[in-house]
Amino acid sequence: MPKKITIEPVTRVEGHGKVTIHMDDSNQVVQSRLHIVEFRGFERFIQGRPYWEAPVLVQRLCGICPVSHHLAAAKAMDEIVGAGTGDGLTPTGEKMRRLMHYGQIFQSHALHFFHLASPDMLFGIEADPNIRNIIGVALEHQDLAVQGVMMRKFGQEVIQATAGKKIHGTGAIPGGMNKSLTPEERDSFLLGKDPLNVDKMIEWSLGALDFFKSYHSQNRELVDNFANFPSSHLSLVRKDGAMDLYHGVLRAVDAEGKKILHDVDYQKYYEYIGEEVRSWSYMKFPFLKEYGKEKGWYRVGPLARMNTADFIPTPLAQKEHEIFRAYTNGKPNGMSMHMHWARLIEILHSAEMMKELLYDPDITGDQLVTKGNKQYEGVGLIEAPRGTLFHHYRINEDDQIDMANLIVSTTNNNTPMNLAVESVAKDYMNGHAVISEGMMNAVEVAIRAYDPCLSCATHALGKMPLEIKILDKSGNILDKKRSS
């Protein structure tokens, strides 16, 4: 009997997600889908609010990556106050924003690697879930667990020092920043008591890379073949082709490495990128207009950024980038599990960037804000931890926002995540009528590689159960599992 397997919601994925896998009579996977079942309606909510509130308001979207939304909105508002795009800010304004951003990338990637990815690597995808988590890591590899905790803490403290506070930070304002670092704050990050200083963070970042490379060398077949599929890749790059996570031009390359979006100004992103709505998901499917809905999809995030950038402008990360690129002979890398490798190179790059910025005298400067001629439209793009984040606003004569369009990183990865699920479903589920713990986690590992953040603005106690259902084609439940 044809049947549909539903995994609902996906564990360790923020917000509500559901996976359905349709099988034919001989238990072969014929189709799989990742459904996003929560609708946020944020773009309508923000209409009517004064534009200068946007950088703070947008942090309501997400308790996980508020800094990315804060900075993307601030960049859009830079346009509106006439401060220009990215490089129009004062040196102190721009460098403080960059420090905040690299602190965010650093702590977010550290959380993902140590908390979410390392358990699967240390214990195996099919290991008992009671062991396969950071508590298990703490028991058997305490040094790694401590590093994960302290790297998160370091990044969070950088964010607090730059954004002003942990919750609803106000550091970035239209046209610049409202604070710089004090010498005491700067010195605490440079010379802080071990391990909370930037040199230790660089050392640990290199150690995490060694850990991954060792795992890779011992599990090459799994790491290279798991959810491996060709795709295009999109990200911001600096005008000279360097990786730049804060600002740049939009570049996309195809699966062969050929440029298909040629370093364009992102203020006109809508001329190049469309968004498709499909009936079975609240999350849209972005695509490059020139290549259409079927062929124009792309990946974003750490893997994409490794593939689009010509080089990384910090020495240790550049050395790792060269090794990464050489692994696929300079061609774009389509291996989903190599997202972890890419993420670790970005952790290292972020630590190096933080050190460079902390030693820059501008970081304690007092010229914080630039203003110019007011505009009525602005677009802010940033490379958030999970990928390219788009914020687009228009305002009216009364300075109220009357149009907002956001394309969040996870939305950009919608098609790739669906393809990753399908790839793994075929590899692990063909010929099986029920889901084992290992099969279920394989699907989740594929999704988690993209580190999606589906919707995480509320989390009140009593929500978010984990439920697994198996249904036949008529919707009858054949099996059901639930945990909290």
Partner 1 sequence: MRKQKRILIYGYGNPGRQDDGLGIAFSEAIEKWADKNQIHHITCDSNYQLNIEDAELISNFDLVLFADASIEDIKEFTLTRVKCSTSKIEFSMHAVSPAFVLDLCNKIYKKSPETYLLHLKGYEWDFKEGLTPDAKHNLKEAVRRIKKVILQETGPNELAQASSVC
Distances (CA, A) of 7 to 167, 181, 386, 432, 443: 33, 47, 23, 15, 9
User: Which residue stretch of 224-232, 329-337, 428-436, 449-457 sits at the interface with partner 1 (rule: CB under 8 A)?
Assistant: 449-457
* Residue 69 C-beta: closest distance to partner 1, Å: 11
CB nearer to partner 1: give 111 or 304. Answer: 111
On whether the CB atoms of residues 471 and 4 are closer than 8 A, the answer is yes
Laid out side by side, the sheet with 3-8 consists of 29-36, 17-23, 3-8, 466-472, 477-483
User: Which residue stretch of 83-91, 125-133, 245-253, 416-424 sits at the interface with partner 1 (rule: CB under 8 A)?
Assistant: 125-133
**Rounded distance between C-alpha atoms, residue 59 and residue 71, angstroms:** 10
Which DSSP letter does residue 230 get? -
Q: Is 127 in the site for partner 1 (CB under 8 A)?
A: no
User: Which residue stretch of 141-149, 279-287, 352-360, 370-378 sits at the interface with partner 1 (rule: CB under 8 A)?
Assistant: 141-149
Longest dimension (CA), the chain: 70
Options 55, 103, 136, 332; binder of partner 1; rule CB under 8 A: 136
CB nearer to partner 1: give 243 or 449. Answer: 449
* Residue 9 C-beta: closest distance to partner 1, Å: 7
Q: Is 122 in the site for partner 1 (CB under 8 A)?
A: no
Q: Is 37 in the site for partner 1 (CB under 8 A)?
A: no
Q: Is 461 in the site for partner 1 (CB under 8 A)?
A: yes
On whether the CB atoms of residues 429 and 422 are closer than 8 A, the answer is no
Q: Is 340 in the site for partner 1 (CB under 8 A)?
A: no
Q: Is 387 in the site for partner 1 (CB under 8 A)?
A: no
* Residue 116 C-beta: closest distance to partner 1, Å: 6
User: Which residue stretch of 5-13, 211-219, 243-251, 253-261 sits at the interface with partner 1 (rule: CB under 8 A)?
Assistant: 5-13
* Residue 398 C-beta: closest distance to partner 1, Å: 21
Bridge partners of residue 353, in order along the sequence: none
CB-based contacts of 168: which residues, under 8 Å, 6+ apart?
Answer: 56, 59, 60, 66
CB nearer to partner 1: give 222 or 456. Answer: 456
Of residues 10-29, those binding partner 1 (CB under 8 A): 11-14
* Residue 150 C-beta: closest distance to partner 1, Å: 7
Q: Is 448 in the site for partner 1 (CB under 8 A)?
A: yes
Q: Is 214 in the site for partner 1 (CB under 8 A)?
A: no
Options 39, 279, 463, 475; binder of partner 1; rule CB under 8 A: 463
CB-based contacts of 209: which residues, under 8 Å, 6+ apart?
Answer: 320, 341, 344, 345, 348
Options 4, 5, 7, 9; binder of partner 1; rule CB under 8 A: 9
CA 313 from centre of chain: 20
**Rounded distance between C-alpha atoms, residue 166 and residue 443, angstroms:** 34
Neighbours of 126 (CB within 10 A): 16
Q: Mask 160-189, x = binds partner 1 (CB under 8 A)?
A: ------xxx---------------------
DSSP string, 404-455: EEEE-HHHHTHHHHHHHHHHHHHHHHTT-SS--HHHHHHHHHHHHTT--B--
CB nearer to partner 1: give 58 or 335. Answer: 58
Record the tokens describing residue 268, joined without a space. Answer: 């006109």
Q: Count the alpha carbons within 13 Å of 400 in the hemisphere toward its beta carbon.
A: 8
CB nearer to partner 1: give 50 or 465. Answer: 465
Handedness of CA 231, 40, 99, 339 (dihedral sign): negative
Laid out side by side, the sheet with 232-237 consists of 259-264, 249-253, 232-237, 298-299
Whats the size of the chain, residue-wise?
Answer: 484
CB nearer to partner 1: give 117 or 250. Answer: 117
CB nearer to partner 1: give 113 or 428. Answer: 113
Q: Which residues contact partner 1 by CB under 8 A? A: 9, 11-14, 41-42, 45, 57, 59-60, 63-64, 66, 111, 114-116, 129-136, 138-139, 142, 145-146, 148-150, 152-153, 156, 166-168, 448, 451-453, 456-466, 483-484
